[in-house]
A = this chain, B = another copy of it.
Amino acid sequence: MLTKSSNMEAAGETPKTTSMTMIQALRSAMDVMMARNENVIVYGQDVGYFGGVFRVTDGLQAKYGKSRCFDAPISEGGIVGTAVGMAAYGLRPVVEIQFADYVYPAFDQIVSEAARLRYRSAGDFTAPITIRMPCGGGIYGGQTHSQSPEAMFTHVCGLRTVMPSNPYDAKGLLIASIENDDPVIFLEPKRLYNGPFDGHPDRPVVPWSKHPMAEVPEGYYTVPLESAAVFRAGKDLTVLTYGTMVWVSEAAAIETGIDAEIIDLRSIWPLDLKTIVESVNKTGRCVVVHEATRTSGFGAELVSLVQEHCFYHLEAPIERVAGWDTPYPHAQEWAYFPGPRRVGAALKRAMEA
């Protein structure tokens, strides 16, 4: 990562950092915020006593008590619905949906309520809620433990949608999301929880401990929303991506030898258009990569934005690499996953066009 834009608590001193997995970094974000602001509370299915099926909330109930970190019934609608009410009261609920695939029962409360409360009440009531959910495939989860529904949220005005690709950003973005006064959909690429993933399932797993982006300050800091990161600088073309696909795209660039500039959006919507436009205007070529199904995926919006803002700089059609327009199959996971081979082929097409 070239630019590590972030706001450290005490500007002067160098903060103490520790190597954290993404799970530890996310937990640390909640820990820091629960300590700083007693209105921050955390709940969801299995998040209390047990600490979450991915253990992200482990230890928070023991530390902050059952009133501030607790188990919820298996009702995503109830979880988000109560969070809207709590936020209206003045709390800052951080709720977990166990898998992004299970967010749909909460859809009405997210789309019709959380997203619109400020608008419809002209600011009389607001909904500063953070809705965390693991997303993405690569763990043989089958069609209901692998989805990436971000595009739907980006179509809903009033929501912010965020997805980190590494422990440092995960903590900084989660803190920024909790502090933000708008409802935030916080998607966690579960395949990155324990290490970066280049899209080669056959290669040995690399733990975060080996990676500089896992050096995470122990205390408070934020990675601002609406700011993208230039994950890798390059001259040949621009890759617009986020989450797991940042790493896959890097692998594809290395493997094809194409000098790709990889932009990690981090905030999917509202986004950092400036960074995108500058890069594409510089390279003249663009490939958009995400794991979600292709049609009406967020890639479509990215393509549209780029063609609207960079039309006269484009030297080739913008390529989209995405999940196929099928449910995420179990056995054929690696034929479905948009891995380095498919991304690499798109990079080549974009260069050759």
Task: List residues of A whose CB falls within 8 A of some B CB.
Answer: 101, 104-105, 107-108, 111-112, 116, 119-120, 143-144, 151-152, 154-155, 157-158, 269, 292-293, 295-301, 303-304, 307-308, 311, 316-318, 320, 325-327
Contact status of A111 and B119, CB under 8 A, knowing A303-B307, A308-B320, A327-B157: no
Residues of B close to A119: CB separation below 8 A: 143, 326-327
Contact status of A297 and B155, CB under 8 A, knowing A303-B303, A307-B303, A307-B318: yes
Whole-angstrom distance from the CB of A308 to the nearest CB of chain B?
6
**Is there an interface contact between B104 and A158, defined as CB atoms closer than 8 Å?**
no
CA distance A316 to B314 in the complex (A): 12
Residues of B close to A303: CB separation below 8 A: 300, 303-304, 307-308
Which residue of the partner chain, among B112, B152, B269, B296, contacts A301 with CB atoms under 8 Å? B296
Residues of B close to A293: CB separation below 8 A: 155, 157
**Is there an interface contact between B151 and A296, defined as CB atoms closer than 8 Å?**
yes
Contact status of A158 and B327, CB under 8 A, knowing A104-B111, A104-B112, A107-B107: yes
Whole-angstrom distance from the CB of A289 to the nearest CB of chain B?
14
> Nearest 8 CB-CB pairs, A to B?
A104-B108, A155-B296, A311-B317, A300-B300, A107-B107, A303-B304, A300-B301, A154-B296
Contact status of A299 and B295, CB under 8 A, knowing A108-B105, A151-B155, A157-B327: no
Residues of B close to A308: CB separation below 8 A: 303, 317-318, 320
20 interchain pairs, CB-CB under 8 A: A104-B107, A104-B111, A105-B108, A107-B107, A116-B327, A119-B326, A120-B143, A151-B155, A151-B296, A152-B152, A152-B155, A152-B296, A155-B292, A155-B296, A157-B295, A295-B301, A300-B300, A304-B304, A307-B307, A307-B318
CB-CB nearest in chain B for A116: B327
CB-CB nearest in chain B for A298: B296
CA distance A111 to B327 in the complex (A): 11
CB-CB nearest in chain B for A320: B304
Residues of B close to A317: CB separation below 8 A: 307-308, 311
Residues of B close to A116: CB separation below 8 A: 143, 327
Contact status of A296 and B325, CB under 8 A, knowing A104-B107, A307-B317, A308-B318: no
CA distance A144 to B326 in the complex (A): 31
**Is there an interface contact between A304 and B300, defined as CB atoms closer than 8 Å?**
yes
CB-CB nearest in chain B for A297: B155
Residues of B close to A298: CB separation below 8 A: 296
Apart from A157-B327, A303-B303, 4 more pairs, CB < 8 Å: A105-B108, A151-B155, A307-B318, A311-B317
Q: Which of A296, A308, A326 has the most CB of B within 10 A?
A: A296
Whole-angstrom distance from the CB of A301 to the nearest CB of chain B?
4
CA distance A202 to B293 in the complex (A): 42
CA distance A296 to B154 in the complex (A): 6
Residues of B close to A325: CB separation below 8 A: 157
CB-CB nearest in chain B for A312: B317
CA distance A327 to B113 in the complex (A): 11
CB-CB nearest in chain B for A271: B295
